[in-house]
């Protein structure tokens, strides 16, 4: 190709010379635009709106009832005391049982494990099969799952009660766990299926040629690739199960109620003297585990929530 | 050999999910539909009196409590829609101003990590007339301000709406942010060169481009509103009286408190119909929008 | 007097300096092509001229005006983007009109400008369509049309042909060149394609590593 000849002018020659460092034209100090400040102020006020309830709960939980009766809800405790925390954990009354929130805590934990295993095991395999294998009725089933994800719990509540009762798990931790797994299956399956759909076809074809078997491909190839989505789903499910109330109250028996149910019983008591500091401590105790997860792995948390939402 | 195995294996693997779907969802729905036509009370009866098979539904539609529930459903829906607006505003601001983005997002989203019972407990405490916010405002000198919303049937619902907005705005903000970030950066540059005013840019360009996101939020909001139960229990337990009843609460109340299986089933099926009526057109619009958007340009 | 001049331009992002004391003058009616590989700084320079980025030091003049501290909309420029940046929810007509939103022209003037540009670019039959219904080449023309209706003295092009197939590219090259010959605006055009540079430019500035290596006419 023709060369570009250099038509050098004096100015261009100057370009080739090493230049002295600036500043050539003293620039105005860059002001933070007025608009930026307005935005930041507005956002900060909104942040306050979101933080105030948390602040109030924390502060109230460390006060004594005497100070609470003074009525200054935003004031810091005169004396920081763990009295309410201890009371809530050990002695709070849910109905006739006064064994505290700790019963609920352990129940919630015990519900979590089988429920996670059941729901994730079922959904991940189903999602894998639907995404990567040719089954003639796959699309119809997928559509059905999509519909099921929107069915209100109340519609299947009574039948589920009867079914769990007839299997003998009604009122047990396993019963609660099983119901959680059943209800989560549509959404989780859709999430896994969409994730696996994005795996390039070549990898699957290569895997089929290499080993061919449904289960081997799953265990040796797909599962190792699923780290990311598994974390997201785990966080989504843990939060959802821990914070659930409806399933817990419907399928929980006297000794098997999760923490949220005990908390609800606590705060809706209308007779007698209400111990607000106990209530707030109880609320905090119930909220701390998922909050810890949130602050530690917030990014996956957000992914989980939005993944659970945009399942279509 | 391989081909045959690979036909069977996936279908076998899908079998548990299919079974669960058929039994726990389809079968259960059918079961409830059947029950809604019967006279079941504390014990289920499976005989349908064909002379009066809609009696539960007739009773439902004449029930004042159900009417209140439906009303509250609409009020809650409209009020909670503010969470979408609020979420959009927050997202737009965070998108414009990159400073502190990560901090603000963390703050706005943490309510999602917390159970609705906890949220209800916190706000119930704030609304406490003698010791809560109202007392605080009176102490500051605003003695005529009334923040005792939970005590009056007229205002109790608004307290629940406020708590819902607090809980969910961050979620809609996250969805809106994702939507905003999908807008081609060159559109912003072109708008700067065109000298478009701030308002016109958002109203005429950005928001129309985000139609899909808004509709998705509307769908999720409606589903959330229909399911609303926990927050009502925690804040008012349906009270004062039955002024904060919502359909979900009504249905569960009919089953557990009134022990009327047939009635509860009818209420549940009506909830299902309402869900379908909201969900179907919105999903159709979404699918249509997405098809148009995929045919669209940068 | 040059139509556009860059004086002692320095641009840094944090500790990374992209442009260091760059000087360049563009004469009135010139078709200047900034040519170079990715990362050479040519798009940065274009964005500085447009006002989408702020200089770290230096001065930009358009005509006799010092525009260094002016907003993009006040610089009297128009720009054609790589992915056209058409507003997808507006029709072609709406897109062309929107660009004139800030200028206080009366309706008649606006309609006339749109009509002229539409005729010139042969997009009259497309005025009621939305960008999603147009082909790549058609969207290109609308993007150029949007720049033309502003009747700016300086038009900027940011690799506008890179999303088109080879045949369209050849056609559009000729069209853009023809536009330049007809309307005689000052054009600053960024590309990495040597052929584009050679066929369209009146002057070429070859850039690499943030420095103008060569500057001159295509021969």
Helix (H, G, I), strand (E, B) or coil at A136: coil
Residue B196 DSSP label: -
Residues B128, B130, B131, B135, CA torsion sign:
positive
Task: State whether B196 and C102 contact (CB < 8 Å).
Answer: yes
Average pLDDT, chain C: 87
Is pLDDT at B296 greater than 60 in this prediction?
no
- So what's the pLDDT on residue B53? 80
Q: What's the confidence (pLDDT) of residue A25?
A: 65
- Residue C81: count other Cβ atoms within 10 Å of its Cβ: 23
Place of tokens 């829609």: B81
For chain C, the structural domain boundaries read: 86-151
Of C130, C140, C186, nearest in space to C163 by CA: C140
The more confident residue out of A2 and A195 is A195
Look at residue B32 in the predicted model and tell me its pLDDT. Answer: 92
The token duo for A81 is 């005391």
C195 touches chain B (CB under 8 A): no
Residues in a beta bridge with C24 = C6
> Comparing A168 with A202, which gets the higher pLDDT?
A168
* CATH classification of the domain holding B271: 1.10.3720.10
For residue B292, the model assigns a pLDDT of 67
Q: Domain total for chain B?
A: 1
pLDDT at B154 over 90: no
Q: Which C positions 89-128 lie with beta carbon below 8 A of chain A? A: none
pLDDT at A310: 61
Q: Stretch A32-61: mean pLDDT, rounded?
A: 88
Give the 3-state secondary structure of residue A51. helix
pLDDT (mean) for B16-43:
90
Q: Which residues in chain C are contacts of A5 at CB distance < 8 A?
A: 216-217, 219
pLDDT of A15 over the 60 cut: no
Distances (CA, A) of B260 to B30, B39, B139: 18, 9, 48
pLDDT at residue A290, as a whole number: 93
Burial letters for A100-111: b for 16+ Cβ neighbours within 10 Å, e otherwise? Answer: bbbbbbebbebb
Closest CA to B132 of B144, B146, B118: B146
Output phi, psi for C186, to 5 deg.
Answer: -85, 130
Query: What is d(CA A207, CA C45) in angstroms, rounded to the nearest whole number?
Result: 49
Strand partners, C25: C5
Work out the number of other CB atoms within 10 angstroms of the CB of residue A3.
7
Residue B29 lies in a domain: no
Thinking of the domain A104-259+283-309, which architecture would CATH place it in? Answer: Orthogonal Bundle (1.10)
- Quick check: A50 and B18 CB within 8 A? no
Closest CB from B107, B131, B275 relative to A50: B107
Residues 6+ apart with CB under 8 A from B256: none
Residue in chain A lying closest to B10 (CA): A129
Residues of A in contact with C59 (CB under 8 A): 24-25
* The residue count for chain C: 219
- Specify the pLDDT at position A263: 92
Cβ contact B272:B29 at 8 Å: yes
Mutate to test the interface with A, among B117, B124, B164 (most CBs of A within 10 A): B117
Residue of chain C minimizing CA distance to A14: C23
**Cα distance from C72 to chain B (closest Cα, Å)?**
5
User: Given a cut of 60, is residue B89 above it in pLDDT?
Assistant: yes
Q: Is the Cβ of A285 closer than 8 Å to some Cβ of chain B?
A: no
Q: Would you call A69 helix, strand, or coil by DSSP?
A: helix
Residue range C127-133: mean pLDDT, rounded: 89
Pair type for strands C211-216 and C4-13: unpaired
Beta-carbon separation of B195 and C73 below 8 A: yes
Give the tokens for residue A138: 């796959």
Per DSSP, helices labelled H in chain A are: 10-16, 34-61, 65-70, 83-91, 101-132, 138-148, 153-167, 173-197, 201-210, 214-217, 227-242, 246-251, 259-267, 276-296, 298-309
Q: A29: distance to nearest CA of chain C, Å?
A: 11
Looking at the complex, does the CB of residue A35 fall below 8 Å from at least one CB of chain C? no
Burial of B296 (0-12, 13-18, 19+ CB in 10 A): middle
DSSP character string of B128-187: -TTTSHHHHHHHHT-TT----GGGSTTTHHHHHHHHHHHHHHHHHHHHHHHHHHTS-HHH
Q: How far is CA A109 from the centre of its chain?
A: 16
Q: What is the dihedral of CA C17, C19, C20, C23, to 10 degrees?
A: -170
ipTM: 0.86
Cα atoms in the Cβ-side hemisphere of radius 13 Å centred on C92? 26
Distance from CA of A181 to the nearest CA of B (A): 10
CA C115/CA C118 separation, integer angstroms: 5
B91-139 tens-digit pLDDT: 999 988 777 888 898 999 999 999 999 999 999 988 888 888 878 877 7
Does residue A132 sit in helix, strand or coil? helix
CA distances from A128 to A125, A134, A214 (A): 5, 11, 10
Cis? peptide before B240, omega within 30° of 0: yes
- Write down the pLDDT at residue A16: 45
Report the pLDDT averaged over residues C11-38. Answer: 87
Is B110 within 8 Å of B170 (Cβ atoms)?
Answer: yes
The pLDDT of residue A307? 65
Q: Mention every residue, 6+ apart, whose C-beta is less than 8 A from residue A150.
A: B223, B275, B279
- Residue B286: CB atoms within 10 A of its CB come to 17
Collect all residues of chain A within an 8 Å Cβ-Cβ radius of residue C206: 4
pLDDT in tens, B135-147: 887 777 777 777 7
Q: C touches which chains (3+ CB pairs under 8 A)?
A: A, B
pLDDT given for residue B176 in this prediction: 92
pLDDT at C219 (0 to 100):
63
User: Is A2 a residue whose pLDDT tops 70?
Assistant: no
Collapsing DSSP to helix, strand or coil, C187 comes out as strand
Using an 8 Å Cβ cutoff, are A154 and A237 in contact? no
* Other C-beta atoms lying within 10 Å of the C-beta of residue A135: 15
Q: How near does any CA of chain A get to the CA of C98, in Å?
A: 24
Structure confidence by residue, pLDDT tens digits, B161-220: 999 999 999 999 999 988 898 888 889 988 888 888 888 889 888 999 998 889 888 888
% chain C with pLDDT above 70: 99
Q: What is the pLDDT of residue A19?
A: 44
CA–CA separation, C100 vs C117, rounded Å? 13
Percent of chain A clearing pLDDT 90 (strictly above) = 39
The whole domain housing B126 covers 63-295
In angstroms, the CA A52 to CA A72 distance is 14
**Residue C200 and residue C31: Cα distance in Å, rounded?**
7
**Residue A176 pLDDT grade (very low, low, confident, very high; cuts 50, 70, 90):** very high
| Residues ≥6 apart with Cβ < 8 Å to B244 | B72, B156, B157, B160, B232, B235, B236, B238
Specify the DSSP element, H or E, that contains B195: none
Phi, psi of C24 (to 5 degrees): -160, 140
How far is A24 from chain C, CA to nearest CA, in Å?
Answer: 6
Interval A245-258 mean pLDDT: 90
In this prediction, residue A65 has a pLDDT band, given cuts at 50, 70 and 90, of: confident
Best CA proximity match to B117, nearest among A129, C26, A290: A290
- Residue B7 has what pLDDT? 73
How many angstroms away from the CA of A22 is the closest CA of chain C? 7
Distance CA B135, CA B97 (A): 37
Q: CB contact, 8 Å: C70 with chain A? A: no
On the question of pLDDT at B75 being above 90, the answer is yes
Asked whether A194 and A311 are in contact (CB, 8 A), the reply is yes
pTM for the full predicted model: 0.85
Q: Which chain B residues are within 8 Å of C98, Cβ to Cβ? A: 194, 196, 204-205
pLDDT tops 90 at residue A244: yes
Chain A CB contacts of B126 under 8 Å are 53, 56, 73
For chain B, give me the number of helices (H) and strands (E)?
Answer: 15, 0
Report whether the peptide linkage leading into residue A23 is cis, meaning its omega lies within 30 degrees of zero. Answer: yes
Mutate to test the interface with B, among A150, A237, A258, A278 (most CBs of B within 10 A): A150
Distance from CA of A35 to the nearest CA of C (A): 14
| A66-106 per-position pLDDT tens digit | 888 887 788 888 888 888 888 888 888 877 778 888 889 99
CB C215 within 8 A of CB C197: no
> What is the Rg, in whole angstroms, of the alpha carbon atoms belonging to chain B?
24
Q: pLDDT per residue over B224-279, tens digit each?
A: 899 999 999 998 888 788 889 999 999 999 888 888 888 999 999 999 999 999 88
> Is residue C90 packed enough to be buried (19+ CB in 10 Å), middle (13-18) or exposed (0-12)?
middle
Residue B1 predicted with pLDDT over 60: no
């Amino acid at each position: 190709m023709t060369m570009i000849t250099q038509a050098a002018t004096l100015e261009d020659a100057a370009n080739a010379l090493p230049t002295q460092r600036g500043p050539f034209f003293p620039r105005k100090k860059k002001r933070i635009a007025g608009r930026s400040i307005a935005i930041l102020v507005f956002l900060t006020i909104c942040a306050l709106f979101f933080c105030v309830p948390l602040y109030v709960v924390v502060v109230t939980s460390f006060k004594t009832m005497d100070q609470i009766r003074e009525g200054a809800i935003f004031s810091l405790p005169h004396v920081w005391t763990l009295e309410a925390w201890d009371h809530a954990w050990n002695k709070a009354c849910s109905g006739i049982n006064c064994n505290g929130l700790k019963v609920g805590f352990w129940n919630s934990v015990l519900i979590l494990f089988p429920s996670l295993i059941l729901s994730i095991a079922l959904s991940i395999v189903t999602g894998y099969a639907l995404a990567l294998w040719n089954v003639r009725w796959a699309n119809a089933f997928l559509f059905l799952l999509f519909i099921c994800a929107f069915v209100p719990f109340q519609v299947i509540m009574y039948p589920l009660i009867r079914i769990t009762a007839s299997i003998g798990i009604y009122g047990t931790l396993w019963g609660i766990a099983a119901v959680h797994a059943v209800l989560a299956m549509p959404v989780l399956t859709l999430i896994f299926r969409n994730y696996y759909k994005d795996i390039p076809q070549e990898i699957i074809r290569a895997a089929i040629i290499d080993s061919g078997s449904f289960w081997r491909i799953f265990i040796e190839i797909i599962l190792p690739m699923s780290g990311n989505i598994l974390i997201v789903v785990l966080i989504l499910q843990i939060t959802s199960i821990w914070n659930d109330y409806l399933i817990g109250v419907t399928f929980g028996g006297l000794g098997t109620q999760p923490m949220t149910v005990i908390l609800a019983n606590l705060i809706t008591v209308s007779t007698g003297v209400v111990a607000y500091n106990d209530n707030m401590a109880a609320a905090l105790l119930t909220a701390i585990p998922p909050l810890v997860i949130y602050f530690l792995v917030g990014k996956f948390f957000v992914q989980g929530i939005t993944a659970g939402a945009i399942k279509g | 050999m391989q081909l045959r195995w690979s036909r069977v294996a996936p279908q076998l693997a899908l079998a548990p999910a299919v079974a669960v779907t058929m039994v726990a969802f389809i079968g259960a729905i059918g079961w409830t539909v059947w029950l809604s036509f019967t006279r079941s009370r504390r014990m289920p009866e499976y005989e349908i009196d064909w002379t009066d098979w809609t009696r539960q539904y007739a009773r439902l539609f004449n029930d004042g409590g159900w009417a209140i529930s439906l009303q509250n459903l609409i009020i809650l829906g409209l009020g909670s829609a503010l969470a979408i607006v609020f979420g959009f505003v927050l997202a737009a601001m965070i998108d414009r101003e990159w400073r502190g983005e990560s901090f603000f997002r963390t703050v706005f989203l943490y309510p999602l990590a917390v159970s609705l019972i906890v949220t209800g407990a916190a706000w119930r405490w704030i609304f406490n007339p003698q010791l809560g916010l109202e007392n605080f405002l009176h102490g500051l000198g605003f003695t005529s301000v009334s923040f005792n919303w939970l005590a009056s049937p007229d205002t109790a619902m608004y307290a629940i709406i406020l708590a819902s907005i607090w809980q969910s705005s961050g979620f809609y903000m996250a969805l809106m942010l994702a939507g905003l970030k999908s807008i081609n950066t060159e559109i912003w540059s072109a708008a700067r060169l065109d000298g478009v005013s701030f308002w016109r840019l958002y109203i005429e360009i950005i928001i129309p481009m985000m139609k899909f996101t808004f509709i998705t939020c509307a769908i999720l909001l409606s589903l959330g509103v229909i399911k609303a139960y926990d927050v009502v229990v925690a804040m008012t337990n349906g009270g004062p009286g039955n002024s904060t009843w919502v359909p979900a609460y009504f249905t569960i109340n009919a089953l557990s408190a009134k022990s009327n299986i047939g009635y509860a089933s009818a209420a549940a099926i009506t909830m299902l119909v309402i869900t379908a009526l909201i969900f179907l057109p919105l999903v159709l619009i979404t699918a249509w929008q997405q098809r148009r958007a995929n045919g669209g340009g940068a | 007097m040059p139509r556009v001049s860059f004086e002692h331009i320095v641009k840094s992002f944090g500790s990374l300096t992209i442009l260091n004391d760059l000087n360049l003058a563009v004469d009135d009616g010139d078709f200047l092509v900034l040519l170079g590989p990715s990362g050479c700084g040519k798009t940065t320079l274009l964005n500085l001229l447009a006002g989408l980025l702020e200089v770290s030091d230096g001065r930009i003049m358009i005509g006799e005006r010092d525009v260094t501290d002016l907003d993009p909309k006040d610089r009297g420029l128009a720009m054609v983007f790589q992915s056209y940046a058409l507003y997808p929810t507006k029709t072609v007509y709406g897109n062309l009109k929107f660009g004139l939103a800030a200028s206080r022209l009366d309706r008649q003037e606006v309609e006339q400008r749109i009509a002229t540009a539409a005729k010139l670019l042969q997009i009259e039959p497309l005025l009621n369509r939305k960008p999603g219904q147009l082909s790549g080449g058609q969207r290109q023309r609308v993007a150029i049309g949007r720049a033309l209706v502003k009747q700016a003295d300086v038009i900027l092009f940011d690799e506008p042909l890179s999303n088109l197939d080879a045949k369209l590219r050849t056609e559009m090259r000729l069209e853009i060149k023809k536009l330049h010959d007809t309307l005689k605006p000052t054009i600053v055009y960024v590309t990495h394609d040597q052929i584009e540079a050679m066929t369209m430019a009146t002057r070429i500035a070859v850039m690499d590593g943030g420095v103008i290596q060569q500057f001159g006419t295509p021969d």
